[in-house]
Amino acid sequence: MKVAIYFGVEGIRCIEIAMPEIQAPHKILMKVNAMSIRDSDLHPYRDALDPIIVEGTFQTEHKWSARSSNAEVMRARPNKASA
């Protein structure tokens, strides 16, 4: 599957990785149908974050549906789109 990974200032690369498998009962695998970026999503790319923000993950706008889930996951079912 293709993923976009943030490697630092002006360092985003699209690469192929193996499809992950669910390894815990409370996890789900998501399929992204569409995504977009907006101006605020470019702050980490341009290194324009406020110094008070702690490094970590950030997300873009997206719509998704569950690809698969384990028995303990009650609210996400395969082939059901998000609200």
- Banded model confidence at residue 16, pLDDT cuts 50, 70, 90: very high
Please tell me the distance from the alpha carbon of residue 58 to that of residue 8, in angstroms, as a whole number.
13
> Quick one: pLDDT band at residue 49, thresholds 50, 70, 90?
low
Question: Rounded to whole angstroms, how far apart are CA atoms 68 and 79?
Answer: 8
5, 34, 35: which is closest to 17 by C-alpha?
A: 5
Does this model's pTM top 0.85? no
Domain range list for the chain: 22-83
| Six token digits for residue 43 | 């702050």
Q: How far apart, in whole angstroms, are the C-alpha atoms of residue 79 and residue 29?
A: 11
Q: Which residues contact 49 (CB under 8 A, 6 or more apart)?
A: 43
- pLDDT tens per residue, range 55-73: 555 555 555 566 666 656 6
Q: What is the pLDDT of residue 57?
A: 55
Read off the pLDDT of each residue in 21-40 and give the average, rounded to a whole number: 75
